[in-house]
Structure 1
């Protein structure tokens, strides 16, 4: 594991990298497509969530490289989520619909995440067990984006609105 000083530096490093990459990914999403970039990020987290935690625990990979790659992957989600989610609601419902959906998901997943990951770690005695939860949640993101793409196709390539 890392000392508090090293962990703090890694978090600051990751946030700095993420802040730059979110802007770049947001720009690229206008050309590549928001669902595509989001889907790539979610799939990478689904596949790499557990190995990331194993690598953090083992120290086998330079932590700055590891956290830099993690920031890159997370930027694919963070750089596309806002506009992708906003596109789901018609203009007259966008603020309320997005606020309710986002905050309900944040309360359910964010609020229970420490409990679930502690439970997983306790049950499995595996310090990388939180990676299982992270991977499972990202699978929800994959399914959601696929549903958006299917709805868009049904609407003739138009928006997949919920209203």
Structure 2
């Protein structure tokens, strides 16, 4: 079942790489600003390792839901759940909630998310964590913006995609 209020936000390389050694593959300051702009005022849902990888948490002006399988986990300023179903139940009345990682959480939510906010970096990266391969025929593009990061020397795009049929 597709949940139209569940959106995924992720920065991916063209080979669908998203991370290595529990860290991001690239540092895009404008993408971090974009992430903040899009998610502020909304609930963000993440796995335990994603939360722990944040430089500081909770992130301001966002409700945090952390999915973990450890019943002893407690994170200040965050709500803890033990399944994606429990996370979905907690946001069922919200207009939009954002899945922010990591790899295992993305894989579980990808088949049911109604919207993708992709930052697509136009090159491959070596990684140990990947986003599910996006079948673009299942998605319609709502918007696309092209950018160039001078510091890193690569092109990237912001793609906002809505699942077809929703």
Q: TM-score range by the shorter chain?
A: under 0.3
Structure richer in helix, relative to its length: 1
More strand by share: 2
TM-score, with length taken from structure 2: 0.23
